[in-house]
Structure 1
Amino acid sequence: MNLDARWVKIWRDLWGNKTRFLLVTLSIAVGVGTIGMIYNASQIIQRDLYSQFKQGNPAHVFLYLSPFPKEIANAAEGIREVKQAQARRILRAEIKSSRGDFENLNLHVIADSFSIKVNRFNMLQGAFPPNVREIVLERQSAQLLGYEVGDKVTVKLEDDRQYELTLSGIAHDVNEIPFAILGDASGYISMDTLRWMGESATYNRLEVVVQGEEISKGYALDVADKIKKRILEPAGYQVFSIRIPGVGSDPGDHWAHNQIRGFILILQIMSVMATLLSGGLIVNTISAILIQQTKQIGILRAIGASRKQIVSMYLLNILIFSVAGLILAIPFGLVGSWWLANFAARFLNFDVTRVTLTWDVLLIQVGVAIGMPLAVAIFPILNGTSISVYDAIYQYGLSDRKRVSRFEQLLSRIRSINPPLLLSLRNTFRQRSRLAFTLSTLTLAGAMFIASFSTYSSLTAQIRDVERYVAFDARLSLPRGVTKVAAEREALRIEGIGYAEGWAISEGVIVRSDHSESQGIEIVGLPPDSKTIYPKLVAGRWLSAMPNSRQVVVNADLVNEEAGIEVGKEIQIKIGGRTHTFTVVGIVSKHIFGPRIYMDFTSLSRLTGRHNEVDEIRVLAEEGKLASVATQNTLAEKLEERFRNAGISKNNSVTRSSFFSEFTEIFNIILLVLLIMAGLLALVGSLGLSGTLGINIMERMREIGVLRAVGAANHALVKIVLTESLVVSFVSWVMGAITSAISSPILAAVVIYAVLETQMSFRYSMIGLMLWFCVILLIGVFSSLLPARRAALLQVREVLDYE
């Protein structure tokens, strides 16, 4: 066979069916482009976020202690395991936004401000340190508060003193959890400004960078314990807590490292799915070409073309599809990775410096774009070219099968089915291998779509577990010295409050068997019959009403961090410098916001020496029932005003709904990403269904001619194609529902563990199931439009004279 003749045939095959060429090219481009988008975006995020984070020299461990001078940091650097130490003052305050409401503010005062060593940040505008009566705001805080350099801002301290400062600069601090997530703005002032505000010129946080590369939590805590015992305690300073920065992160990791890992994992799973689906579409398309050109294959064989030549010609055809798809996929992947990286940057508050295509990502895209289509197409090509010359030329058209399938026998026995519907059903199930490819494509798309909703439902269920521990309408933090009786009595005097409950909150550490200590753990003293907490027991029982007992309940967060904690075992807890022995009587579910120990209120009061004092008051409009969001906001305002006027507390109150708004926003973003990726899968699935219907019409050309000859109208042919499409859609929905029962818990477990590092509470989403039913029906309708139109335009002479 002449080489030029083969090129002419390949060109005519491609240009003669532009729709098919575009269909296959787009399917390859979607799969390969999605892979490029995800892998390139993950590299951009890791390059820019982690590099900017590491450039700031992040602290491995924080020590919160009583007021100390900056010389303590110099003394800590004398310990061999300490690389660098820095003193910082964190002052809780509020800042008035341009809208007039007050927001939480963390004021930072850093020792040696001209040469910051640990947790460095970049100045975007202005200079650092600011002058007296000036403040620098973190850029996201300034943006959301509505301020620009030169504006006057009002800062209010905890004792209600207010100061007007000039905004002299904007900083970018990637070490701080963004204002949009945590709800706490970040500001930076000088020590001179702190003195002018009437505060002592001391520090309360020691930031330590440990020697070494890979630092474990245990090692960082051991170094902090050494600083505490060798320097701080002998000098008379009290260490309130020792903490690893971040949200469950390891020392030196970005505070959202686990969440970023889960986010990227979701995208990688979806990219693999998109690639598999595009492979199914390629198989169907190649089958269509071979079916349409069966007689051509026979003629080529008759004039001397070898099977090897024919196979190589069709493989070259596939190669052209692949190259065209790759050409589209590369820019699609770059644009998509730019969008995805900037989406993450806005959320995590870092800068995307540049978008580039690295060689490893390019090689992955080339390998998938070229290798995957050739791999999946080789079998149908070998199968299609194995036909004999006689069968190819004389047996093409209506099948001469002598054996009728059981399904067709069953259909023939059902008299109530009208002929067009019977023809649609027979066409649907006639080519079972092709149907299997189409169904697998749509089934995978449906399973991942439903799994996305089920993952969101499971994440929501996880939050519902956490809500058990914040079963209040509003709460208010109280200063030291407020008794339980006084706080509860004052709260119950407020109109609309039907129940009030005081909690004592302290901090301690677990003393291990080797005498090392854990990082700081929150200890809660509450009534055993509390009405503002509904714990979910994992093991053991809840606290019993036994005053001064040595029983505690711990949460799963603590069990995960401290090995050996079990129901019935004794643990050593150090509170206020003294170690006490307690028996673990129960373990409750994970809280997300960290390790916690529960004990009876009177027991904790006695151990801390703060008899009958509470640290927060929790209120309900009605005992045993949560109020609406509007009622919660009203109660919070009344609670805050009442306690402020009574001179008890000047703190801001918190509602239950506002407490969970941050978590909900994060999970909504995860759902959005899941749905975008599921939508891409559905797009590839719809392309596959449309291609299958087109192949079926090619095979049934003469049957369509017969129908035309006996008077079938256009709408009848359209109805046949539409019914066939809807039948395939419905069957795929059923199979997708079955498959989702397996894929949903797997995806939910992977995502929840990656994001929250906890076991899941799985919830299957019926909403996702029914929504996919609506989507698949729409896919069925729109996928049939082009093939149905093509069938309706065919004339009798044209179809009966079809090759």
Structure 2
Amino acid sequence: MHIPTRWMKILKDIWSNRSRSLLVIFSIAIGVASVGMITNAGIMVQRDLYGSFAEGNPASLEIYTSPFQRDLTSAVDAMREVEDVQARRVERASVLNGDGEWDDLALNAFPDLTDLKVNRVDLVEGSMSLGVREIAIERQSAEGLGIAVGDTITIKMEGDRTYDLEVVGIVHDLYGMPYALLGEVTGYVNLESLKWMGEPSYYNKLDVVVAENKYDQEHVLEVGNIIRDRVIEPSGYRVGSMGVPGLGSDPGKHWAGDQIDGFLLILQIMGVMAVLLSGGLVVNTVSAILVQQIRQIGIMRSIGAVRSQLIAMYFFNVLAYSVLGLAVALPLGLLGSWWLAEFAAGFVNFDLTTVNISWQVMTLQITLGLLMPLGVAIYPILSGTRMSVYDAIYQYGIGSEGSGWLDRALMRVRNLAPPVVLALRNTFRNKARLVFTLLTLTLAGAMFIAVFSTRASLTVQIENIARYVAFDAALGLPFGSKKQTVEREALRIPEISVAEGWAQSIGVIVREDGSESGELEIVGLPYDAVTIEPLMLEGRWLEASDTNKIVVNDDLLDEESGLAIGSEITLKIGSRQRTYQVVGVTSKHLSGSRIYMEYGSFGQLTNRPNQVDTIRVRGNLEAIGSSAEQDVIAFQLENRFENASLSKSSSITRHAIFGDFTDVFDLILVVLMIMAGLLALVGGLGLTGTLGINVLERTREIGVLRAVGASNMSVRQVIVIEGVVVGLISWVLGALLSGPSGRALAGAVVNAVMQADLIYTYSFAGLLLWLVVVGFIAVFSSLAPARRAARLTVREVLDYE
């Protein structure tokens, strides 16, 4: 088959300049694969996570109550507002791990694990038909602790009572918080096993699916109030808490759905940026080809080639790059989406059923991979083929001199070393090409710094949340514990210098129209408490004389429109209610809406004077202890209170609350940093291409330098300094752009993961680190063009004539 000469020329050009061809091919591939990876991963996550989640009949509402029997479940199930209901017992315990240490265990008890109506679990291995002294373990917990079917594990209940249970099954629970996130083991037993362990046989939680409008949060909470008022409380039981499962999610939606969608959106935006940057590299590469082949274009024009033929020929060149880039991008995007979806699956604890690329994603990648390179190549191809035959043949190798104010200013620079002066002047000769190069490096730098600013902002966000848990350890207390007794007992421990008893209850706001708000936490604490360091947004904190004053957090203001400083609200706990005035607003908590009141006022509202529910302690009034010190204090507190028969609960340390939480952010930031690294890679490739074009354009000028005695080192210095100048300019521009881009990225991450308002913190450490990175990129990208320029001899230059 005969291939026309001009097409054969393009194919030979691609093969003879393999390094350049590979640069542009992989640049296109990186951009297109990034978009394909993120989009396809999102489709697989939606298919497998959300599909499996819906199949298990997820609860619309979860209600924690005082102990109840199965008759309450039947009464709730008979309500026309309820489609399904499942009773369970949730008990806190500990399990002995392979290192001889105790891990937290959430023990779930059901009548029959194989016949769940709501939040169904799936069998992975073994059996779900549980007998006495048998337990099933959630699969992620089993993997974390190295537990297998047939093993015997030791669990510890309240009072340090230990029991050995045989593991007969490994199950998959898509509805609970995963072990990878909280570090808490999840186990399942029947009520007979609880009874064998000395525990009373009762339930304390209802998982409810409403009959209508099950995805309407307001309706779901209204049904919850109906269940409480018509069935639970008239039956003699008390509601402890009630709400929609998840981290601020809507009913029927996976608990991490908003976070996953938000994170994928952020990655999608970064993928689009990678495409734009790779487009800049295509422009540079096409420009390099045209500059290198200017004399060839002139010769072809002189023997009869028309401009349309030349345009078609170079468009074919770009098309060839696009097709080859797509050949790399499609499998690379599939592998990347597999990795990203597996990352999400391991983190959120779901299974990928199949790994494939959807036709929508393939269409998107093919369209993007073909149209983007061809679109951005229009300008350089049209401008490069417009040159006359004379200019193409006789002006090749001579750089054009600028005549703008900047060029004139640079011509007056005299006090610097000659290589520096030449590099400065050469940098600004072709301003359009400089803009393309600066665009790629500036965007990469802005995103790099933005990732570090996001990390700094998240750190500040966590520190602000930590202000509300300003203790070394805390211990839950049985109902009716006396404040003075528990504080005195805690202060008898030598390691403890501060002890505060706090009271808590679940209540509602009674609005003026008689309707009630969703449930919220009401806290009674000393007005001068030191285990909380509230960040006040408005108003003031509590004072000793505040018998009818309260402080609310900003979460409550989001829930109750019209609430402000000076507002009077009626609070209801059980059947008791009182009216209070809002005097202060604190920053948001991860725990949701909360109201603080002076301890005495809380006792009057609840009719529980001098009673507390939690003891919070510190070893040092001046500072929070280290993780090791917190563990020691927690151990001493547990033992002391157990020996004094004041509490059999497990304590919690401050570092345990935030340890796994910060690990989540670190994983997210690693993924963002990988994306920022890809952008920096594309930016570096663009700089390499720009410097290579500049060397080609100034071939005869370099020859003149060699003719007057310039050494190889001097020629290299000119090119390397030119690259460093471009890098420094991009650093300045990236620094300017990193402020708004960092705020946008940090806000998106905080909103996606924490659903909280942003407290933005700029990372000057990221700014300085990018200076180092861009300096390295500039030098490294300059080496190949500098080496090529240094190899040019006077004879080679004269060969161009």
- TM > 0.5: yes
What residue in structure 2 maps to residue 358 of structure 1? 358
1:197 corresponding residue in structure 2: 197
| Structure 1 gap segments, 5+ residues each | none
**CA apart distance, 1:388:** 1.9
Matches of 1:19 and 1:143 in 2, distance apart? 46
Tell me which amino acid in the other structure corresponds to 2:591.
F
Alignment-derived partner of residue 321 in structure 1 = 321
Matches within 5 A, 1:140-539: 140-212=140-212, 215-399=215-399, 404-539=403-538
CA contact (8 A) 2:286 2:381 kept: yes
1:94-149 C-alpha deviation (Å, 9 max, x unpaired): 22222221122121122454421100011111211311110001111122223221
**Counterpart amino acid of 1:644?**
E
SS across alignment from 2:347: helix
What TM-score do you get using the length of structure 1 for normalisation? 0.97
Q: CA distance change for structure 1 residues 308 and 430 in 2, over 3 Å: closer, same or farther? A: same
Separation (CA, whole Å) in 1 of partners of 2:562 and 2:63? 25
Q: Tell me the SS of whatever aligns to 1:482.
A: strand
Q: Verify the 8 A CA contact 1:222 1:516 in the aligned structure 2.
A: no
- Match for 2:531: what amino acid? T
Distance (whole Å) between structure 1 residues aligned to residue 190 and residue 471 of structure 2: 39
Q: Which amino acid aligns with 2:744?
A: I
Displacement of 1:399 in angstroms is 4.4
Closer, same or farther: CA 3–514 of 1 in aligned 2, 3 Å: farther
Aligned pairs, number: 800
Q: Is 2:159–2:642's contact at 8 Å kept on the other side of the alignment?
A: no
TM-score (norm 2): 0.97
Number of the residue aligned with 1:661? 659
Matched, 1:21 2:29: no
Change (3 A) 1:790 1:9: same
Q: Determine which of 766, 769, 777 is the counterpart of 1:768.
A: 766
CA contact (8 A) 1:107 1:189 kept: yes
**Residues of 2 paired with 1:259 and 1:729: CA distance?**
36
Q: Relative to structure 1, is the Cα distance of residues 637 and 197 closer, same or farther in structure 2, using a 3 angstrom cutoff? A: closer
Instruction: Please give the alpha-carbon distance, in whole angstroms, between the structure 2 residues aligned to 1:512 and 1:156.
Output: 45
Instruction: Classify 1:172/1:399 alpha carbon distance in 2 versus 1 (closer, same or farther; 3 Å).
Output: closer
1:447 shift after superposition: 0.2
Contact 2:27 2:278 in 1 (8 A): yes
**Is contact 1:244-1:519 (8 Å) kept?**
no
Matching residue's letter, 2:751: Y
Taking the aligned partners of 1:518 and 1:802, their CA distance within structure 2 comes to: 83
Decide which of 740, 743, 746 is 1:742's aligned counterpart: 740
Show the counterpart of 2:729: 731
In the alignment, which of 643, 646, 668 is matched to residue 645 of structure 1?
A: 643
**What amino acid maps onto 1:223 in structure 2?**
V
How far apart, CA to CA, are the structure 1 residues paired with 2:281 and 2:212?
52
Distance 1:742 1:536, change over 3 A: same
Distance 1:112 1:640 in 2: 34
The answer as to whether partners of 1:476 and 1:618 remain within 8 angstroms in 2 is yes
Residues 64-143 of structure 1: pairs in structure 2 closer than 5 A: 64-143=64-143
Once structures 1 and 2 are overlaid, which stretch shifts more, 463-472 or 760-769?
463-472
SS in 2 for 1:343: helix
In 1, Cα distance between equivalents of 2:761 and 2:32: 32
Query: Take 1:393 and 1:424, find their aligned partners in 2: how far apart are those partners?
Result: 26
The verdict on how the C-alpha distance between 1:133 and 1:673 changes in structure 2, with shifts beyond 3 A counting, is same
8 Å Cα contact 2:182/2:661 also seen in 1: no
Structure 2 contact 576–606 (Cα < 8 Å) conserved: no
Query: Are the aligned partners of 1:95 and 1:105 in contact in 2 as well (CA < 8 Å)?
Result: yes
Partner SS state of residue 479, structure 1: strand
* CA shift in 2, pair 1:517/1:94, >3 Å: farther
Task: Please report how far the alpha carbon of residue 278 of structure 1 lies from its aligned counterpart in structure 2 after TM superposition.
Answer: 0.5
Letter of the structure 2 residue corresponding to residue 407 of structure 1: L
Q: Of residues 668, 690, 693 in structure 2, which corresponds to 1:692? A: 690
The structural deviation recorded for 1:366 is: 0.8
SS class of match (1:250):
coil
Distance 2:481 2:73 in 1: 35
1:618 aligns with 2:616: yes
Paired with 1:641 and 1:240, the residues of 2 have a C-alpha distance of 27
Conserved 8 A contact 2:286-2:380: yes
- Report deviation, 1:442: 0.2
Given residue 662 of structure 2, which amino acid in structure 1 is its aligned partner? T
Query: Within 2, Cα distance between the matches of 1:237 and 1:711?
Result: 97
Q: Of 624, 627, 634, which residue of structure 1 is paired with 2:625?
A: 627
Q: Given that residues 258 and 756 in structure 1 are in contact (C-alpha distance below 8 angstroms), is that contact kept between their aligned partners in structure 2?
A: no
The farther-off stretch of 556-565 and 268-277 is: 556-565
Is the CA contact (8 Å cut-off) linking 2:397 and 2:696 kept in structure 1?
no
- Determine if contact 2:483/2:612 at 8 Å carries over to the other structure: yes
**Which deviates the most, 356-365 or 290-299?**
290-299
1:215 deviates by 1.4
Give the drift of 1:376: 0.7
Aligned to 2:61: 61
**Deviation digits for residues 231-286 of structure 1, max 9, x if unmatched?**
22232222222111111111111111222122212211210110111011111111
Please say if residues 61 and 251 of structure 2, whose CA atoms lie closer than 8 Å, have aligned partners that are also in contact: yes
| CA apart distance, 1:187 | 0.8
Distance 1:619 1:399 in 2: 74
Q: Give per-residue Cα distances to partners, 1:14-65, cap 9 Å, x unaligned.
A: 1221111111101100100111111111111121111221121110001222
Per mean C-alpha deviation after superposition, the further-off stretch among 275-284 and 579-588 is: 579-588
Q: Is the 8 Å Cα contact of residues 91 and 106 (structure 1) preserved in structure 2?
A: yes
Moved more, 506-515 or 115-124: 506-515
Counterparts of 2:236 and 2:761 in 1: how far apart (Å)?
Answer: 53
Q: Report the equivalent of 1:758.
A: 756
Q: Please say which of residues 787-796 and 675-684 is displaced more in the overlay.
A: 787-796
Shift of 1:752: 1.4
Single out whichever of 179-188 and 514-523 deviates more from structure 2: 514-523
Q: Do the aligned residues in 2 keep the contact of 1:640 with 1:651 (CA within 8 Å)?
A: yes
Q: Tell me, yes or no, if the aligned pair for 1:686 and 1:783 is still in contact at 8 Å.
A: yes
Question: CA shift at 1:557, angstroms?
Answer: 1.6
8 A Cα contact 1:474 1:632, kept in partner: yes
2:539 is matched with 540
Residue 27 of structure 1 aligns to which amino acid in structure 2? Answer: S
Deviation at 1:698, TM superposition (A): 0.6
Q: Please report how far the alpha carbon of residue 167 of structure 1 lies from its aligned counterpart in structure 2 after TM superposition.
A: 0.9
For 1:192, give the aligned amino acid.
E
Shift of 1:470: 1.0
2:400–2:429 Cα contact (<8 Å) kept: no
Distance 1:60 1:340 in 2: 29
User: Which stretch shows the higher mean deviation, 645-654 or 355-364?
Assistant: 645-654
Secondary structure class of the residue paired with 1:154: strand
- Asked whether the 8 Å contact 2:457–2:760 carries over to 1, the reply is yes
Distance 1:265 1:295 in 2: 47
Residue 251 of structure 2 aligns to a residue whose secondary structure is coil
- Tell me, what secondary structure is at the counterpart of 1:481? strand
Deviation at 1:741, TM superposition (A): 1.8
Mapped to 2, the partners of 1:663 and 1:191 lie a distance apart of 33
Of 549, 553, 556, which aligns to 2:554?
556
Structure 2 residue identity aligned to 1:225: N
**Counterparts of 2:635 and 2:72 in 1: how far apart (Å)?**
42
